[in-house]
């Protein structure tokens, strides 16, 4: 590992640390250490980092703001590449928005709403990065990223860049080509939005934020929705109907506000959350013969 660390530090690409705890980088405040943690300061430095990792044949995992992520207590083998400051650039040209993968989605929605630009009102309460939102086709309130994304700039694991169109991203419910077929890091996205009434846009944004505060437990560390909705059913309603609200294992608890949220109420371990997820899956299948699939991404050592 010393050779990789020395080479990365010599390139001056940004933060490079060994055995960095990942709990601080997730909204659930759970996660063991990464063998190697890298936070590049620019797109160019991100590419340099990926090239070094490829040279040493070291496995890597990209993360953003950690809002849809459950990391193993044993941490992550290989490298974690975090997109943050330096990959959060923003360019606004009329109603076409080009934004870095490390930019906060909520912040982006807020900035453009004040300029009277409509299209991201649904994202006003989604606490992730733009890159993560595109990766999983994040959505709420009847809309999602696929409705507004024009192109996505991807750094693939072979070190090459490519712009993909909306169609080439192969969006479907909470997924994209980056999950299904081609592994890479979303470094930049272009959204095609539209002008609207500024006061109406801001009001809609506030309405969506208020709804989340009233119905979702953001006062506790959590990872957002744990399960995908098994349409036409809704995960939260199924869990509530099964009487599982408030059920806990260790420091992890199914929220009493919303059945599809698991909250960290007291130094929860990833194992607690895993066991709670498995209990929900078994209970819902036993009662309704419905297979529940996780929306939260679960990564790290087994």
pLDDT tops 90 at residue 159: no
Tell me which of 82, 146, 174, 204 is the catalytic residue. 174
Identify the band that residue 180 occupies on the pLDDT scale cut at 50, 70 and 90: confident
Are 151 and 228 found together in one domain? no
64 pLDDT higher than 90: yes
pLDDT at 29 > cutoff 80: yes
On the question of pLDDT at 2 being above 80, the answer is no
**CATH number for the domain harbouring residue 145:** 3.30.465.10
Q: What does each C-alpha distance from 278 to 138, 222, 283 come to in angstroms?
A: 24, 17, 9
Report the SS3 class of residue 114.
Answer: coil
62 and 155 fall within a common domain: no
For the residues 40-54, what does the mean pLDDT come to?
95
Q: What angle do CA 210, 216, 205 make, to 5 degrees?
A: 25
Q: CA triplet 255, 261, 265: central angle to 5 degrees? A: 50
98: which 2 tokens? 């080009």
Among 82, 102, 132, the domain-final residue is 82
Of the candidates 29, 38, 12, 11, the residue with the CA atom closest to the CA atom of residue 185: 38
Strands (E), 113-271: 117-118, 139-140, 143-144, 149-156, 161-165, 184-192, 194-195, 248-249, 252-254, 262-264
Q: Tell me whether residue 21 is one of the annotated catalytic residues.
A: no
Does any domain span residue 241?
Answer: yes
**How far is residue 294's CA from residue 262's CA, in Å, rounded to a whole number?**
12
The residue among 82, 113, 137 that closes a domain is 82
Let me know whether 251 and 152 are in one domain.
Answer: no
Q: What is the mean pLDDT of residues 112-125?
A: 94
Assess if residue 300 is contained within a domain. no
Is residue 203 domain-shared with residue 227, that is, in the same domain?
Answer: no
Q: Is the pLDDT of residue 108 over 80?
A: yes
Q: Which two tokens stand for residue 156?
A: 């693939």
C-alpha dihedral (221, 189, 165, 137), degrees to nearest 10: 10
Range of the domain at 51: 2-82
pLDDT band at 298 (very low <50, low <70, confident <90, very high): very high
**Does 182 participate in catalysis according to the annotation?**
no
pLDDT band at 59; cut points 50, 70, 90: very high
Examine the pLDDT at 132 and tell me if it is beyond 80: yes
Residues 161, 106 share a domain: yes
Confidence of residue 3 (pLDDT cuts 50, 70, 90): confident
**pLDDT at residue 210 tops 80:** yes
- The CA distance from 63 to 38, in Å, is 10
User: What are the pLDDT digits (tens) for 226-264?
Assistant: 999 999 999 999 999 999 999 999 999 999 999 999 999
Measure Cα distances from 227 to 106, 282, 295, 296 in Å. Answer: 22, 13, 5, 7
For residue 1, pLDDT beyond 80: no
Among 196, 184, 221, CA closest to 69:
221
| CB contact at 8 A, 83 and 64 | yes
Q: How confident is the model at residue 204 (pLDDT cuts 50, 70, 90)?
A: very high
3 state SS for 250-266: CCEEECCCCCCCEEECC
CATH of the domain at 76: 3.30.43.10
User: How many structural domains does the chain have?
Assistant: 3
Which string of DSSP letters, residue by residue, matches 227-254? B---TTS-HHHHHHHTT-TT-EETTEEE
Residue 301 a catalytic site member: no
Per annotation, catalytic residue among 113, 129, 176, 225: 225
Task: Return the SS3 of 41.
Answer: coil
Q: Select which of 20, 39, 188, 295 is catalytic.
A: 295
User: Hey, is 64 helix, strand or coil?
Assistant: coil
Does residue 297 carry a pLDDT above 90?
yes
Q: Are residues 184 and 230 in the same domain?
A: no
In a domain, 172, yes or no: yes
Of the three residues 82, 103, 131, the one that is the final residue of a domain is: 82
pLDDT at 182 over 90: no
Q: Indicate whether this model's pTM tops 0.75.
A: yes
């Amino acid at each position: 590992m010393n050779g990789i660390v020395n080479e990365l530090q010599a390139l001056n690409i940004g933060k490079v640390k060994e055995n960095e705890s990942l709990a601080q980088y997730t909204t659930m405040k759970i996660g063991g250490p990464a063998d190697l943690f890298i936070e590049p300061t620019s797109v160019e430095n991100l590419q340099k980092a990926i090239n070094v990792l490829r040279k040493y044949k070291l496995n890597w995992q990209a993360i953003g703001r950690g809002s849809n992520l459950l990391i193993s207590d044993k941490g992550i083998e290989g490298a974690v590449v975090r997109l943050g400051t330096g990959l959060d650039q923003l360019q606004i040209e009329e109603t076409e928005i080009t934004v870095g993968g490390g930019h906060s989605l909520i912040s982006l929605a807020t900035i453009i709403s004040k300029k009277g630009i409509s299209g991201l009102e649904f994202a006003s309460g989604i606490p992730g990065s733009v890159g993560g939102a595109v990766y999983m086709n994040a959505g709420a309130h009847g809309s999602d990223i696929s409705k507004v994304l024009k192109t996505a700039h991807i750094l693939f694991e072979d070190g090459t860049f490519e712009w993909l169109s909306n169609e080439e991203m192969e969006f479907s419910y909470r997924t994209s080509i980056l999950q299904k077929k081609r592994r890479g890091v979303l470094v930049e996205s272009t959204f095609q939005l539209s002008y609207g009434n500024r006061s109406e846009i801001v009001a809609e944004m506030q309405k969506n934020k208020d709804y989340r505060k009233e119905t979702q437990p953001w006062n506790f560390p959590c990872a957002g929705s744990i399960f995908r909705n098994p349409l036409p059913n809704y995960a939260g309603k199924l869990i509530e109907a099964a009487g599982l609200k408030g059920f806990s294992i260790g420091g992890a608890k199914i929220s009493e506000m919303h059945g599809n949220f698991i909250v960290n109420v007291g130094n929860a371990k990833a194992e607690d959350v895993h066991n709670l997820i498995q209990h929900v899956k078994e209970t819902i299948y036993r009662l309704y013969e419905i297979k529940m699939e996780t929306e939260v991404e679960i990564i790290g050592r087994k």
